[in-house]
Amino acid sequence: MAKILIVDDEEKIRDVIREYAEFNHHEVREAADGMEAVTMALNEDFDLIILDIMMPRLDGFTACKEIRREKDVPVIMLSARGEEYDKLFGFELGIDDYVVKPFSPKELMARISAVLARRKRSLENMDAPEFRSGGLVVHTASRTVTLDGARIDLTLKEYELLAYLIRNRDIAMSRDKLLRDIWGYDYFGDDRTIDTHIKNLRGRLGSYRDRIVTVRGIGYKFEDDEDRV
């Protein structure tokens, strides 16, 4: 069971999501606008937030940014607009999924389950001494990587890039965010720095190179075998 905050200015939509979420044994709280959502999210702990974009007082994008300043909580965006720009902007903010209205409540529940499962795996492996994906093993204590039992040599930045993508696996990470979080705010490089390191890293990963997936228009993400369909 998860504690979910549903944020939408349309009461009927909140009612439908609540009905299905409670049927799936989740605890549900509701907010009717972005300001109310921020207040609730900062004063309570939620396992997931379902956040509409177009709302009075404070839009979903701004609400998401305000919440993420203080809380690391998964977010699924809802929108009546399916434009690529909105989706890309949402993923730039680090949202976990994007659902276009009208949507199937059953599909939304499936997406909620997938996001919660990914977050659970991420938390379980955050402090683990190693991460495994098939024959790819990242040893966090020694900061080394082995492929099918054989150690591969990575540069410091290659290791940091791989470890960062794994910690945020299944989330599309923009090139700008990778530059900021790995190279630092004072780095004067550009997107080609990321692309070059990804190319080199894939080369060193051999048959596991496809774990690093290019997300068109955004950047890159790491996919584990069990997340693939």
Q: Look at residues 119, 38, 117, 51 and name the one whose alpha carbon lies nearest to residue 90.
A: 51
Question: CB atoms < 10 A from the CB of 164, how many?
Answer: 16
Structure tokens at 24: 């799936």
List pLDDT tens digits, range 169-211: 888 998 888 887 787 644 455 667 889 899 999 999 999 999 9
The model's confidence at residue 125, banded by pLDDT at 50, 70 and 90, is low
Residues 81 and 93 in one domain: yes
Residues 141 and 117 in one domain: no
Long-range contacts of 138-144 (CB under 8 A, 24+ apart): 138/162, 138/163, 138/166
Q: Which of 123, 154, 172 is the last residue of a domain?
A: 123
Residues 119 and 14 in one domain: yes
Q: What value does the CA radius of gyration of the chain take, rounded to a whole number of Å?
A: 19
- Lowest mean pLDDT of 7-16, 37-46, 143-152, name the range: 143-152
Residues 46 and 11 in one domain: yes
Reply yes or no on whether the pLDDT at 93 is more than 80: no
Residues 131 and 119 in one domain: no
- Whole-model pTM? 0.61
Range of the domain at 61: 3-123
Residues 119 and 175 in one domain: no
Quote the mean pLDDT of the chain: 86
Mean pLDDT on 21-33: 96
Split into its structural domains, the chain has a count of: 2
Residues 217 and 136 in one domain: yes
- Residue spans of alpha helices (H) in the chain: 11-23, 34-43, 60-70, 84-92, 105-126, 156-167, 175-178, 191-205
Do 18 and 46 meet the contact criterion of CB atoms below 8 Å apart? no
